[in-house]
Amino acid sequence: MADITEKHVDSHVAEHDDNDRSLDKNNVVATKVLIGDETFNQAMLKEPPNPRNLIAIQLYLISMVGFCCSTSNGFDSSLFGNLLSQDKFKEFFSVSNVGIGAGIVSSMTQIGGVAALPFIGPAIDTFGRKVGMFIGATIIIMGVIIQGTVINTNNTGQFMGGRFFMGMGVSIIASAGPCYVVEISHPAYRGIVTGFYNVFWYVSINVIIFI
């Protein structure tokens, strides 16, 4: 009798487990994972951005700060290339268009840029893009002051030192600027806004023409 009761209980428990498993199967919901461009397209369909609202215009204006990083790079590169063709400049620093002297004077910016490479990552990643742009701009201003006071000292070494610091600052600011523009731009217009960053390199040439 006890064996019959145990078998009845076991069969009842087994039947109850089968019913629970059937309920679990019925509760399964189909899921779909969206990745890459598919996620972006879904977001664009649900909430299409307005390129003319107040927030978008504010982002465009803030992006101008990053654009100036490109302008500073193009301004220095274009201006110094023309200075080597000026007779007064060559006479003041006792250099010519050819030779080691002209090569060192013109390459100090690139040398400073190479020297700044170990500091670019910590400057723009550890402290952020805005702090990186501030650090680069500060070094550029310091280099400009060193170069500007050469008019009183007539020291070629001081001029090259200023060019060195300018190269360091330009290298940092030219790395932080495009990252900042890309990160604050809306994904729908990121390509266009980033393209304007490169355009502002040529804006510096127009600034030089007016100067």
- Tokens for 75? 């301004």
Count Cβ neighbours within 10 Å for each residue of 71-90 and write b for 16 or more, e otherwise.
Answer: bbbbbbebebeeebeeeeeb
Closest by alpha carbon to 170, among 202, 124, 139? Answer: 139
Which position has the higher pLDDT, 1 or 108? 108
The pLDDT tens digits of the residues spanning 97-122 come to 666 766 777 788 889 989 999 999 88
The pLDDT tens digits of the residues spanning 144-192 come to 899 888 888 778 788 888 889 988 998 999 899 989 999 888 888 888 8
For residue 91, the Cα-to-chain-centroid distance in whole angstroms is: 40
The pLDDT score that the predictor gives to residue 202 is 82
Which position has the higher pLDDT, 47 or 120? 120
CB atoms within 10 A of CB 207: 13
Which of the residue ranges 24-33, 55-64, 191-200 would you say has the lowest mean pLDDT? 24-33
44-63 mean pLDDT: 82
**pTM greater than 0.85 (yes/no):** no
